[in-house]
Amino acid sequence: MNKLMNSFPPAFPFTPGQTEFFITDGKFSVIDLIELAVKNLESHPNLQMVSWTAGMSSVERLIHLTEARGLKARFVFDRVLPSVKKNSFLRLGEIYGAENLRLVRTHLKLYAVYDFHNFYMIESSANFNRNRRLEFFRVTESNRLVSDFSNFVERIFNNFPTVDLLASSHNFQGGSLEKLFSWGSSDFEYVDPEVIDV
C-alpha cells in the first residue's frame, strides 16, 4: 500500500492526467485539498460537490475561501443534511442561495475544483467535514472527469427541486437518482484509468 500513497500536501499545479492518492488517519480533510486546489487556480474558481453531509467548520472555511477568491459553488447533499447538520444547511443556503443547493438520496463523496485552465477531480471516502478517521483521497487533473461530473450535477439540478430553506421538513418525494440515472445505460460506463482521455 505504501507504493500507492503520496506525501501530503500535494504539489500543485498538476500536469494533465496526473493523479495523487492519499490515505490519512485524520490529519487532513476534504476542505484542506479544496483550499490547496483553489489557491493554485489562476482565476474564476468553481466548486461542485456531492457529499452525504457537511460539517460547520468546513462550511465556514469554504465561505472564507469564497470571500477571498470569489469562488462559485454548487452543492448536492443527502436529504438528511437539514436534520443532522441544520446549521450547516442553513449557512450554505444563506451564503450560496437555495438555487445552488439540492437534496437527494446519496452517499457519494465527489468534489470538482476548476477554472478555465485547471481541472481537479477529488474522490474520497470522506464527507465534507472535519476528518477524524482513516480515509482515502484521490486527486486527478482531468478536464474529462470534471466535465462528466459537471454534467452529472447539472442533471440533478435540472431534475430536483430548489430547496426551501424555511421548510419544517425536507422528506419530499421528488424523484430518485435510480430513475434519473439507469445502470447499464450510457450514463454509467467503465473507463479504464490507464487510457482515460484527460
pLDDT digits (tens, 9 = 90+) for 80-103: 999 999 999 999 999 999 999 999
**What dihedral angle (degrees, nearest 10) is formed by the CA atoms of 149, 88, 129, 11?**
60
Prediction pTM value: 0.86
- Angle between helices 86-96 and 56-69 in degrees, nearest 10: 10
pLDDT digits (tens, 9 = 90+) for 34-67: 999 999 998 899 999 999 999 999 999 999 999 9
Which CATH fold would you assign to the domain 20-180? Endonuclease; Chain A (3.30.870)
* 3-class state of residue 86 by DSSP: helix
Nearest to 39 by CA among 17, 15, 18, 66: 66
Domain ranges within the chain, ordered by starting residue:
20-180
Model confidence at 134, pLDDT cuts 50, 70, 90, reads: confident
